[in-house]
Amino acid sequence: MEYRRLGRTGLEVSAVSLGTNSLGSRADKETSLAVVHQALDLGINLIDTADIYSGGRSEEIIGEALSGRRQEAVLATKAGFPVAGGPNRRGGSRQHLLRAVEDGLRRLRTDYIDLFQVHIYDPWTPVEETLRTLEDLMRQGKVRYVGTSNYAAWQLALALGESRLRGLPRFASIQVSYSLVDRTVEREMQPLCVHEGVSLLPYYPLAGGILTGKYGEGAVPQGSRAQKDPSFVRRLDPDRLALARALSEIAREAGASPAALSIAWLMRRPAVASVVVGATSPEQVELNLAALDVSAEDAVFAALDAESTPFRDGPPFASYSLD
């Protein structure tokens, strides 16, 4: 396994991490436990979850899976999306984040979170309030490092400026939608992260399975994300499917799977520390790690760059806000 520094910290994380939004939902409990154990056995140390994943079941299952193995994991979770109706159950306010961390610690069966991430920008809460809350959590030993997710570049720049101006905790990383069919991060976010020493943690690296080639000409295979979540079908547009076909051909000539080559391409991008890849079976964890063994020549990655260049200026594959 390859390990990389997270931002400007001394924390080392695996170049491929385990995304767990399917644990407890698309993957049942027994399978989910096996997925986490397989990831640890193969050297993945960054396990990423969130309070909203499977209604909290993802955190609960991870807590059980890490029993006796807590020290092997860099445990990351997130909060900020609505978790219930009524006031103070979403966003980056002190009220919500303090409660979210306590709830997360209970579900995860741990007394500290290695990387706590603000899941989404809150336009109604001052950034200083969010950062001071994170500072208190770090002083209490409940959180060791902080990051964010789904911020726009200007929102991340604002937070970094507040950290610098007021001596508050600094985001070490940001999770972003980033793949061959979503390169919008390269316009502003990636240059900012390179300049500021903030790590990118790409999610949706396989575009929900589109880049594995499983959807062919738009067909929906049994058991796929699109079959279990019909709203996903809208993402199967002709341009993305055409890119998937081109990727499959390039991967075939390079002697790699489309999925492994897609992840390997991301691992070479500036500021990327770890690629967050989900799995619904132990076997899929192992297949994802094939990216570490891809030894394609530079020309192969240049071909991928060329084929996917239009997706730098297209719409993002995923975009979220509290507005």
* 204 noted as active-site residue: no
Q: pLDDT by residue (tens digit) across 45-73?
A: 999 999 999 999 999 999 999 999 999 99
Band of pLDDT at residue 305, cut at 50, 70 and 90:
very high
All domains of the chain in start order, with CATH = 10-312 (3.20.20.100)
pLDDT given for residue 227 in this prediction: 52
SS3 labels along the chain: CCEEECCCCCCEEECEEEECCCECCCECHHHHHHHHHHHHHCCCCEEECCCCHHHHHHHHHHHHHCCCCHHHCEEEEEECCCCCCCCCCCCCCHHHHHHHHHHHHHHHCCCCEEEEEECCCCCCCCHHHHHHHHHHHHHCCCEEEEEEECCCHHHHHHHHHHHHHHCCCCCCEEEEECECCECHHHCCHHHHHHHHCCEEEEECCCHHHHHHCCCCCCCCCCCCHHHHCHHHHHHCCHHHHHHHHHHHHHHHHHCCCHHHHHHHHHHCCCCECCEEEECCCHHHHHHHHHHHHCCCCHHHHHHHHHHHHHHHCCCCCCCCCCC
Report the pLDDT value the prediction gives residue 220, as an integer from 0 to 100. Answer: 59
Residues 218-274: pLDDT tens digits?
A: 555 555 555 556 566 677 889 999 999 999 999 999 999 999 999 999 999 999 999
The rounded percent of the chain whose pLDDT value lies above 70 is 94
Model pLDDT, residue 76: 98
> Which one of 3, 53, 178, 320 is the catalytic residue?
53
Per-residue model confidence as pLDDT tens digits over 8-17: 999 999 999 9
Average pLDDT of the chain, as a whole number: 94
pLDDT of residue 1: 95
